[in-house]
Structures are given as C-alpha cells and as structure tokens.
Structure 1
Amino acid sequence: MGRVRLAAGDFDEAVAEFERARRLRPTAAGPLHWLGCAAAHRGDLATARSHLTAALACAVPHRRSLVQRAYVHARAGDQEAALGDLRAASRIAPLDDEARWVLAALSGRPAREVALRLRKAAVTELTGACREQRGGGAGGGCGAREDAGWVRAGALIDAARRLGGEPGPCAPLTAVALIRGGRREAAVELLGEAVRQDPADHRVTHTLALALLNSPHRNTGSAWERCVAVWAALLYDAGFWERVRASAARRYDVAVEAALVPVLRAGLREALERRMPDDGAGTRVAPGPLLQREADAAKLLAAVGGFPSAQGGGVPLYCGPLRVAELGRSAEFGAFAAAHEARALQATAADATAADATAADATAATGTSSAYASLTYAFSELGFAQLLLGLDKPADALAALCELRCSECRARGGPGAAAVCEPECARFDELNPGYAGLPDKHRRLSLDARGLALEARLSMGRAELAGAQPDFAKAAAYWRRALVHSRELERYRETQAAIVDMALGAARAAHREGRLSLAVSTLEATRSVIGANERGRLEGQLARVLADRGISVANDEEAPLDEPAADLRCSVALNPHLLRAQVSLGVVLRGLAAARWSSGSLSGARDTLREAIDQLSAALVHFPDDPDLEEQREAAVADLDHVMWQPDESEQ
C-alpha cells in the first residue's frame, strides 16, 4: 500500500503505511528501505540516508538500498560516498541501466558514453511505461507509475541530448518521449537540430510541425513563423505524401491513388489555416497570409524540381523563404534562383525562335519559365504583395510594398528612406533569399517592387472603372502614378498600351449595354492621362461613342439639340472620316438653327446655318460627291437664304 501511495505522489500516506509495516516487522529491511525512498522523494536527504543505512545493517539487507543510498549521496553532493556505494553494489549484482549512467557520470567517463547510458536507461523506463499502458492496471497507482515513467524517460533523454550534443537516432520517437515526459521545448530543440542535419527528412519535419502547432507557447511571432515554415515544407514534399498514402493503405486496406494527393493537400492546408490566429500574433504579417505565401513559394519550388539538399545528390527541398532562412541557406538559394532565372530567359528566347516547336511544347516551356522567373519574387519580401495581387487586393498589395526593410533598417532610416534595406544590411539575404545571388540585388528588389506597384495601380484604376459608381478622377490618378513607375522601369509604352486596352474594354462593354455616357466618361478620363502615341485608338472609339450618343439624344423629339450638337462636333473633330457623324452633325445643326429661329433668335439661326454649311463643305473634302452630305449642304444653303431675308426684330 505504501508503494502504491508513493507512486501516486502521496508521500504522507506512503510514510504512514511504511511506518505501520515497520511496526509489524521491526527487524526487516524492506520497511526501512521504502521509508528512505519516501524521505528522498520529499527532499529530506538526511532522514533518507539514515533509513537506508539502517536497512543495509539488517540481517538481510534490501537489494536496492546501496543504489538508493548512492543516489541520496549524489543529491547531497557527496560524490565519493555515492561512487563507493555504486561500486559496492556492482560487486554484489549487476547494476541496472539507471545506476550504470550514474556510475559512469560519477567516474568521470566521457560525455558520449554517459549519454549512451542515459538513453539506454530512458528506453528501460519507456518499456516499463508502455507495459503499464498496455496492462491498463486497476486503480490510480498504475496510471501514476505510467506517467512517472514518461516523465523520468523524458528527463533522461533530455540529459543525454545535452551531454551528447547530437539529436541521436530516431529523433521523431525521442521527441515524442520528451513531449510525453513534459519537455516539449526540449523536443522542439532536438527536432530543430535533427532538421538542420537532414532538412529533407519529412518524418522529422512532420514531427516538428505537429509539436509546434500544438505547443501552448506558440503565441509569439517567431514561433508562428517557424510553425508556418515547417508546415509549408510538408505540403509539397512528395516523400511525405507517399508515406501518407502508404500509411492510409495499410490502415484501411484499400489502395490510395496518387490523384488524391491534391485533394488531401488542400484539406490539410484548410485545416492549418483554421488553426491560425486572425491577428498578427506578433508577426509582421498574420500567420494565415504568411502560410499562403510560404505554401505558394513551396509550390513554385516544386514546379522546378525543388532546391538541392545541402549534402548534394540527396532528396531536394520543397519549402518557402522562411525555411530557407532558418536553415541558413539564403546565399545558396540566391545562387540557385539566379541560375534558374538565367536558364528561364534562355529557354524563353529559344522557344520564341524555334520554328519546329509545337504549341504544346511552347506552352509547357513558357509555364516552366514563368515558375523560374517567379522564384525571386516568391522568395522575398515581395511575396506578400504578389500574393495579395493574386487575391485581387491591389490596395493591400500596394501597402505591403511601402515598407520592405527589416526592423533595424527602418529604425535607422526614418520615414524618408528607401523602401528596401540598406546595401550593408546583414539581414537582406535572410529576408530575400531569391535575390541573394544577384550582384545588384538591392537595386533589383527596388525595381521589382516598382513593377508590382505599377501592376497594383493599374488594377486599382481598373477597379474604379468597374465599380457601381465609377470614379474616373481616381482611376486617372492611379494611372498617372502607374505611368510614373513605368518611366523608371522603361515600360512607358507598354503601360500606356495596357491602360488603353483596359479603357477600351470597359468602354465597349458599356457601349454594348447602352450606357453611352459611361463609355464616353471612361474614354475621356483615359484620354486625359495618355500621351499622343496611344491616343489614336482612344479617339477613334470615343468618336464612335459620341456619335451614337449624339444621334440617340437627337432622335428624342423633346430633347434640346445643344448637347447632341456638341457630341457630334467632338466626334467629327476626333475622326473626320466618320461619315455617319458628319451627316448627323449637318442634320442636327439645321435642326438647332430652326429651334433658334423659332425662339426668336435670327442671328443665332444664321450663325448655326453658316456653321452647318462650313462643316458640310469640309466633310465633302473627305467624302466627295457623297449624296447625303450634298443634300444636307444644299438644304442648309437654302435655309440660310430664307433666314437672311427675314427681318430681325432684335435689330429694329
């Protein structure tokens, strides 16, 4: 009963039972031995030593009393006495694994030997704990012994790890033992060491990912970043998914096809995102978007075959920039990305000039080239802006581009400094491994940031056009800023063409829907920011839309003709070769003259008819002998002759 109480940690009750046993058998060594053990557990080392010494003086000493007294001596700091007891015990009977490591440590044996003996002792403890677990013994004592076994094994493994300086064999299993023994931080540290030794071992990475995700101390920025990095590394690790498939096939006795992996990957990613906090959790970017950036980067890396492992010739890595930085391989990755970017440019040039390349080959090569080219963006601070642009959040992407410096450079630079780290910044490669291999990496990052800002402003302008209540002034402002970026990037003509294409598409859609004023406003706002070299395409479309609007309003018998006349004048000025606009302007000007005559303004009617005659005469230069124009001009001349003979009451 006393031993059950002792295993459960109820020391007072255990001592009471041992005292009763001693009263029943005052000359037996057993009660004294266990009283000594109970006193040692309570920290009363003097009493423990006294009881154990008394047990050894009995006619039949307890077989463990020498070893237990050695432990008490060691805890009290009396190493010589402890060493003497252990040596004496070893002459009587072989020592167990626990005593062997203590003897090795006290004897000054090499740390590696002590670590090996500690691990062996831990295995013995685990064997006992697992036996208790399988047995499922009655009462609380067995469960307490099982828990105590895990705790003791965890302590032994942790001590061995600190002495040996190496993760040791079977790091995932060792980490599980540490976690069950209440030493999660030690388990994470051990797994981190194992990952650095072999980052391509997905079993170690998976165990570390689970330990970090379920850690109660993960609510710091660095902990979440590390958690995100290891999970993203698993999402596109082919070896990990092969093991998942094989494990599921054994468990359920069914074939698990490789085609299911994308579905499983998506499900895992969604489950992880649900576990991520909504706020920043101490990170510059919230863990959810951070996981998206890291996973998207790993996907791109998988598309080009992965990043070679440090050992060379081993299993490649599929991970994101956080993982690369954690492994301390930013410079190597920079060289890798630069080499693949150069290869991508060469492949693109070769595909463009190869006459015998099929369409399918060209498409596949273009996709691979794009993946290579995107590595620099994805494995840098630009990755967040790129992600946000892909999610159609250009304003957020633009905000992400406003500050690409590390915290140290921000503190030194102040608000007026450049948005990228200083050339001498020690953290630049860590934060931007995709650029680490480029000779002009700071300038390239700055230019690429401008390129993404240009795309963001173009998208924001497009969004203003597509809104329920378009804001043309805002759209024009975004495009003007985009054109400023394009000059820095030597992409001015390209950007102008993109803006014009965007506006023409929106205007045509509005035109088809009969929203002519919207189409006109779209084209006019765009025309205000576009230079002469792209203005022709806009003006041709604007001329047609103005003509249609002018004719549509003029056909309304109740509408005044001043606005249709203004639209048609602009249409003819923009495109004098638009016959329909020329004829319609003549008709509308004659109608406007008649309206002014009816209102009593003969001078206004005469001026309008003279304008009509001049306009129709100019139109006949472009369309000689056109019957409609000639008919309208003759009618305008006749109208003017008639009006000229009428008395103007305002002049009398």
Structure 2
Amino acid sequence: MTAQIADAEPGRAEQACADGEKALAAGDGEAAEASFRAALAVAGDGIGEAPAPDGVLSPEAGKRRVAARARTGIGRVRLAAGEFEGAVSEFERARRLRPTAAGPLHWLGCAAAHRGDLAAAERHLTAALACAVPHGRSLVQRAYVRARAGDAAAAVADLREASRGAPLDDEARWLLAALTGRSAREVALRLRRAALTLLLAGSRDGKEGRSGDGKRGGGGAATWRRACALVDASRGLDGDPGGFAPLHAVVLVRGGRRAAAVELLDAAVRRDPADHRVSHSLALALLHSPEDTDGRKWERCVAAWAAVLHDAGFWERLRATAGRRYGVPVEASLVPVVRAGLRELIERRMPEDGSGARIAPGSLLRREADAAKLLAAVGGFPSADGGGAPLFCGPLRVAELGRTAEFGAFAAAHEARALTAEAAAPPGTADAGPAPSAAHASLTYAFSELGFAQLLLGQGKPADALAALTELRCPGCRARGAGPGGAAVCEPGCARFDELNPGYAGLVDKHRRLVLDARGLALEARLSMGRAELLAARPDFTAAAAYWRRALVHSREIERYRETQTAIVDMALGAARAAHHGGRLSLAVSTLETTRSVIGANARGRLEGQLARVLADRGISVANAQEEPLDGPAADLRRSVAFNPHLLRAQVSLGVVLRGLAAARWGSGSLSGARAALREAVDQLTAALALFPDDPDLEEQREAAIADLDHVMWQPDESEQ
C-alpha cells in the first residue's frame, strides 16, 4: 500500500535518525544523540495526535514513527552508557508513540535484563515477539534471559526457533552449546570465537572503541566490554587460550579487566616461558598497569622486559615486521641500537624511588637485563622438558617459574665444564680471552643478590657497590637479625635463599660460597676506590693507602693476599709510569712510595726498581735545572742507589751531585760540610766501581772526588780556629 506523506519534513527526520544509528554503531554516543535530537526537532514528539486511518501514513503518523525511532535511539545511547533509568524513560516514550511496534518493547526488555529484572525482561521480549513484525533479535535475547533465570529448556527452544529463521551468531551458538551439554572446552572456544567475531565485525565497519574519550555511551567501547565479558567467561570454563593469549589479553585490557589480562598472561608464561609474544604482552600490561596488588608488580614487570630484551626470536620478528612495514630490509646490526634505546625508554618509565619494592625498579631492570645478556652468551637456560627453546632471562624470571633448583644445577655444571676447560688449556693461552671460570663467576654473581654490586662495579661506582654488599639477606632474615659473627646473607635454613640466589642453588656449600664471593666483590670495590683516589686530579694518597690496607687485610680472609698484592702493585706501577712519561716526576714518586708503605716486603721488588729510576730522573732533572740546592737531588739519588745499586746512571749522577754539593758548601763557608760530601762521594764511587769495574765515568768521577778531597783537606777551617 502506498504511503501518503504531506511534505518532505519526515524525510529529513528519517535521515537524521539514520545518521544517529550510524554514529551509535561507530561508538560516538554524543554524535548519535545529537542526530536523534535533530530528528525530534523536525518531527516533534507527536504525542496527542490522532491516529491515521488504516493503511494511510499521514504526516502526523509519520512524525510519530520517526519520533519513536529517535526516542529509541536516545534510549540505546543511555543504555550503552549504563544510565538504565534514562534508557527506560526513553523506551517508554517510544512505546507510547507506537504501542504496537516491536522495537521499543524489545529494548525495554534489554534494559530490564541489564538491571537484573529478568521477569520484566521476559515479559517485554515476549510482547515484542507477539507484534505483527517482531524484532529480529528478540528470540535470542529472550533465550539469554531465560538461561539466566534457570529455564534452560525454554532458552534452548528459543534458540532453535531463532536458528530456523536465520543462522545464529557466535554468541548464540556458544549459549546453545552450553545449554545442550557440550564440553566446557567447546563452550569456551565458542565464547572466544564470539568475542573475536564481535570485534572483527566492528573493525570491518570502522567501529573502533573510544574508551576514555569522555563521550557518553559508545558502541565501540560497549563492544570491547562485551567481548571482554565473553573472553573472561571462557577463562572460567577453560584456562588455556592456546596460542591466542596475547590477543585475549588485549581484549581484557580494552574491556577494563587489566588484572585479569595479567593473570592470563602469567599463566601463559608458565606454560611456555620461551614465547616472546606472551612475555612482551605481559611486560606492556604490567608497565602500564596503575595497580600493584601484591607489591611485586615491578619485579614481574622487570622479569618480563629482561626476557624480551635478550630474546633473539623477538628481535628477528621485530626486524621482519619493520621490513614489511617500511618496504626495506632492516639490518641485524641495528638490533643492539634499538635494544639499548628500548631499555633506556623502559628505565625512564620506572620509578627510581622503589615504589615500595625491595630494590628500585630501575636497578632491578639493569641487574635482570645484564643477567639475561650473560645467559644468552652461554646459549641460554634449557627448557624444562629439554625439547623447547632455551630461556634468555634473569633471576627474577627463573624464580617466578619455580626453576631455581634446575638453574642451580645448570650453573654448577657450567662451572665444572669451565674449570675443566681452564685446566686443559695449553700454557700461554691465558691472554686469548677471559678465563672460563671468570665468565662463570659473572653468571653466578648476576643470578644472585651479588648482581647489584657487580652492576655498580661495572658502572664505576665502587662505594655504592660496597654499600650494596653490606646487606644480602631477605626481609625475613633481616628482621630476625644475625647472631654473633653472622654474615649479611640469609640463614642456612632460609626458604628464600634459592629464590634470591638461583646461581648458587646447585652448590652444596652455597651459603659459604656466597659469603666468600661477596667478600671477593668487596675486595674489588676497595681496590677500585683506592685506584680512584690515586688517579684523581688531586690524588689523596692517604685515602688510597687506607683502602688498600683494608683490602689486604680482607684478602687474607679469603686467601687472596698474594693476588691482591699483585693487583695493587700493578695499579701503582701503571699510574707511576703514566705520571713519569708525562713529566710529573714527584707524582710518580709519591705514588710508588705510598704503595711501598702498604705492600709487604715480599712484593716490593718491582716497586723499588721503578722507584729507583724515577728518583734518579727527578734528582738529575732538579740538579740540571740549577734552580734549587743540591741537597734534594742528592737525597733522591742516594735513595735511587739504595733501591737499585746496579743503576749506573744513578751511581754516576750521585758522584757528580755530591761533588757539586761539596763545592756549594765550601762556597758558603762550610769546609767541614764540603769534606763530608767529598768523603761520601769517594766511598760511594768506590762501591760503585766494585759493581761496574773499569767504568770510565765512575773512575773519572772518583779520581776527581779524591783530588777535590785532598785539596779541601789542606785548607784551613776557619770555624775550627
């Protein structure tokens, strides 16, 4: 029958309603409501108008129909925003405009279901189904209501009847599967498929959610919430999402269930810790999570990021993705640069104050990432079943997975192989690279509480490293305190020792080994602090000597005294040579003399040999400059000869300087002082000739000294008259 419309106004109102429904589907609640209100402005409410004759669509009746459509649209906006009272009010106004239409009744039923009034919901939906033109979704919606009310048979009947009219969507199919006794896993799979279908449909239509944009309602946001509810329900039936854990986690996060997403990803990590997609998703979820329910958010976050940073599979996938995106190959050489940039970015996002954590998150990440890097260098930690991909992670991830005992055995086996390889290495190959045992020590330290001190030492912060070594106990052991002579490590019976120190978990004497290794790192810290004082722009030799004396005392406790002596001597010789070559002779002398005062007699030989050369150079240099009295050069040369009588140039120069000193004393009126200097010169040169027989320079200087002494001896000493 042809509709009779008096003018074009209803057409404009119909278009506004169509625009509103399009905006509503796109998730723009504000735009949708604006369009629906524009339709009302054109059509008016139409309340009170006389109904049109049967079969005739009068202008007034057309306006009432458009007004009802607009009121229904506004109610849907309210319903999507959770404003149930406002939604019901709009749907009721729409029903008054069109009492026999199915649409307002259908949405009244949906609103009642949202409020939990299942009886009213079923009544409205049944009325909608009784209309001349039923709403297409009323049967399925009534099935949901009846299922919630516990009437499974009636719900199944509704779904089967609905399927005869049109194919059921995924949501309806999972409900039918659940109600007809299908397995929990099958129902869970249908739930997940329903969620993904819902999101894909929105994506195809350009209906991305707009959560957090301040707009009321929003079909997109509602879509994410609905998909989130479906995924969350599936987890209750079957906790294994297969290979789709990252995707399901995204749905949960976008739907407002971040904690559930983290829980899902945690479980997925335990099932397959080598899956970098899961670790990456977990790392992102934790980094952006505002909540820290158990006080371990940052530890878990750090563990995940460290695993991602050194997982080769993750970076290969990233390179391939970037290559496809930009249409150019991405060189593998760029990976270290990007990795360093990512690590720096993550560190900036982490609080440095600790945020209630035992260790500041930034420090945790640096320790964890360095440990993962070392583990990657030895091929990774084998999977639990031995057949999967190896793990590239740090100690926090090892503890999370409950594999500390396995890692301890792995580390112990690695140590045994390293020591065997070191013992079998042919002589002369020690300089070919770092010793295997040293590499093992680094790995062991990194996977323990010593990792923080090791990290600080590597950053050139020995004082901070020493401070980090003063307390290695867990909070429980720390609260109990240590007995007399107790070390700053956990008690032998501590349940958390292996968790905090997986690198030591496989050792029989793990507590003792940790104590010894901690002392070894403390020794390195003190040596470094002494070196820093020695190499400062204005060296503090007193402080350097104090650090080294403490280091030597400490080294006896761990049977590394000779090694420590050698390290200190090498350090001092290097600094002295640099100062010597730079012309800073007094600095070189002070460096060597300070070190000699610290080192025992058995290790002074190398120091005294170098000190003899530096003293000789300083004495000769000052004497040649003729700017100072010769007493200083004479003293330097005497000490040089005492330290190394076989240094010929020092012997000759001492003879020359003593003769010059005698002349200076005679010139100043001290004849006795001149005689003493010349007698010393003769004796010194005579002793030198015993070491260097027939040396012409020594013989010449001795003869000259004897002649000078004879001449002086015959001079009257006025001071004696």
Calculate the TM-score normalised by the size of structure 2.
Answer: 0.80
State whether residues 508 and 519 of structure 1, in contact with CA within 8 Å, keep that contact through their aligned partners in structure 2: yes
Query: How many residues get paired?
Result: 640
Q: How does 1:305-454 map to 2 (within 5 A)?
A: 305-352=379-426, 363=432, 371-414=439-482, 417-454=486-523
The answer to whether 1:514 aligns with 2:583 is yes
Task: Compute the displacement of 1:51 (Å).
Answer: 4.4
Of residues 279-288 and 194-203 in structure 1, the stretch that sits farther from structure 2 once superposed is: 279-288
State whether residues 71 and 93 of structure 2, in contact with CA within 8 Å, keep that contact through their aligned partners in structure 1: no
Choose from 555, 559, 562 the match for 1:493: 562
Q: 1:205 to 1:2 in 2, by over 3 A?
A: farther
Aligned to 1:286: 360
Q: 1:142 to 1:510 in 2, by over 3 A?
A: closer
Task: Compute the displacement of 1:459 (Å).
Answer: 2.0
Question: Counterpart amino acid of 1:331?
Answer: A
The answer to whether 1:122 aligns with 2:195 is yes
Question: Counterpart amino acid of 1:276?
Answer: M
State whether residues 612 and 643 of structure 2, in contact with CA within 8 Å, keep that contact through their aligned partners in structure 1: yes
Q: 1:37 to 1:485 in 2, by over 3 A?
A: same
Q: 1:214 to 1:3 in 2, by over 3 A?
A: farther
Task: Compute the displacement of 1:427 (Å).
Answer: 1.2
Query: d(CA) in 2 for partners of 1:592 and 1:219?
Result: 83
Aligned to 1:277: 351
Question: Counterpart amino acid of 1:149?
Answer: T
Q: How does 1:519-558 map to 2 (within 5 A)?
A: 519-558=588-627
C-alpha offsets along residues 63-110 of structure 1, whole Å, 9 cap, x if unaligned? 7557656766777xxx44x44642553464347655666677789987
Question: Counterpart amino acid of 2:501?
Answer: N
Query: d(CA) in 1 for partners of 2:387 and 2:514?
Result: 31
Task: Compute the displacement of 1:336 (Å).
Answer: 0.8
Structure 1: runs of 5+ lacking an equivalent: none
Aligned to 1:466: 535
The answer to whether 1:222 aligns with 2:296 is yes
State whether residues 200 and 316 of structure 1, in contact with CA within 8 Å, keep that contact through their aligned partners in structure 2: yes
Of residues 396-405 and 264-273 in structure 1, the stretch that sits farther from structure 2 once superposed is: 264-273
SS of the residue 2:322 aligns to: helix
Q: 1:255 to 1:651 in 2, by over 3 A?
A: closer
Task: Compute the displacement of 1:497 (Å).
Answer: 1.8
Aligned to 1:250: 324
Task: Compute the displacement of 1:296 (Å).
Answer: 2.2
C-alpha offsets along residues 14-72 of structure 1, whole Å, 9 cap, x if unaligned? 33432233223334454333223334445666765664566577687767557656766
Task: Compute the displacement of 1:547 (Å).
Answer: 1.5
Structure 2: runs of 5+ lacking an equivalent: 1-69
Q: 1:645 to 1:260 in 2, by over 3 A?
A: closer
State whether residues 140 and 159 of structure 2, in contact with CA within 8 Å, keep that contact through their aligned partners in structure 1: no
Query: d(CA) in 2 for partners of 1:61 and 1:583?
Result: 122
Pair member with larger Rg: 2
SS of the residue 1:593 aligns to: helix
Question: Counterpart amino acid of 2:232?
Answer: D
Query: d(CA) in 2 for partners of 1:501 and 1:572?
Result: 23
State whether residues 129 and 147 of structure 1, in contact with CA within 8 Å, keep that contact through their aligned partners in structure 2: no
State whether residues 344 and 373 of structure 1, in contact with CA within 8 Å, keep that contact through their aligned partners in structure 2: no
C-alpha offsets along residues 270-322 of structure 1, whole Å, 9 cap, x if unaligned? 43334333433334443334323222222222222211111221111111111
Query: d(CA) in 1 for partners of 2:659 and 2:326?
Result: 88
Q: 1:403 to 1:142 in 2, by over 3 A?
A: closer
Choose from 24, 28, 31 the match for 2:97: 24
Aligned to 2:676: 607
Of residues 176-185 and 85-94 in structure 1, the stretch that sits farther from structure 2 once superposed is: 85-94
Aligned to 1:35: 108
Q: 1:511 to 1:308 in 2, by over 3 A?
A: same
Question: Counterpart amino acid of 2:351?
Answer: P
State whether residues 7 and 144 of structure 1, in contact with CA within 8 Å, keep that contact through their aligned partners in structure 2: no
The answer to whether 1:200 aligns with 2:274 is yes
Query: d(CA) in 1 for partners of 2:378 and 2:554?
Result: 31
Of residues 602-611 and 448-457 in structure 1, the stretch that sits farther from structure 2 once superposed is: 602-611
Aligned to 2:227: 153
Task: Compute the displacement of 1:147 (Å).
Answer: 1.4
Query: d(CA) in 2 for partners of 1:282 and 1:453?
Result: 27
Of residues 309-318 and 611-620 in structure 1, the stretch that sits farther from structure 2 once superposed is: 611-620
Q: Identity across aligned pairs (percent)? A: 76
Aligned to 1:573: 642
Of residues 389-398 and 534-543 in structure 1, the stretch that sits farther from structure 2 once superposed is: 389-398
Task: Compute the displacement of 1:193 (Å).
Answer: 0.2
Of residues 105-114 and 22-31 in structure 1, the stretch that sits farther from structure 2 once superposed is: 105-114
Query: d(CA) in 1 for partners of 2:566 and 2:431?
Result: 25
Task: Compute the displacement of 1:424 (Å).
Answer: 1.1
Query: d(CA) in 2 for partners of 1:428 and 1:216?
Result: 30
Task: Compute the displacement of 1:478 (Å).
Answer: 1.7
Query: d(CA) in 2 for partners of 1:608 and 1:262?
Result: 69
Q: What RMSD in Å do the two structures reach over aligned CA positions?
A: 3.4
Query: d(CA) in 1 for partners of 2:596 and 2:680?
Result: 27
Query: d(CA) in 1 for partners of 2:126 and 2:525?
Result: 82
The answer to whether 1:237 aligns with 2:311 is yes
Aligned to 2:255: 181
Q: 1:39 to 1:511 in 2, by over 3 A?
A: same
Task: Compute the displacement of 1:491 (Å).
Answer: 2.5
Task: Compute the displacement of 1:330 (Å).
Answer: 0.9
Query: d(CA) in 2 for partners of 1:224 and 1:329?
Result: 20
Query: d(CA) in 2 for partners of 1:120 and 1:628?
Result: 102
Query: d(CA) in 2 for partners of 1:538 and 1:362?
Result: 24
The answer to whether 1:295 aligns with 2:364 is no
Query: d(CA) in 1 for partners of 2:355 and 2:499?
Result: 21
Aligned to 2:87: 14
Q: 1:158 to 1:56 in 2, by over 3 A?
A: same
Task: Compute the displacement of 1:172 (Å).
Answer: 1.3
Q: 1:382 to 1:540 in 2, by over 3 A?
A: same
The answer to whether 1:481 aligns with 2:554 is no
Task: Compute the displacement of 1:150 (Å).
Answer: 1.0
Q: 1:256 to 1:609 in 2, by over 3 A?
A: closer
Task: Compute the displacement of 1:199 (Å).
Answer: 0.8
Q: 1:363 to 1:5 in 2, by over 3 A?
A: farther
State whether residues 56 and 66 of structure 1, in contact with CA within 8 Å, keep that contact through their aligned partners in structure 2: yes
Query: d(CA) in 2 for partners of 1:89 and 1:43?
Result: 20
Query: d(CA) in 2 for partners of 1:221 and 1:613?
Result: 82
Query: d(CA) in 1 for partners of 2:327 and 2:436?
Result: 38
State whether residues 2 and 16 of structure 1, in contact with CA within 8 Å, keep that contact through their aligned partners in structure 2: no
Query: d(CA) in 2 for partners of 1:351 and 1:611?
Result: 56
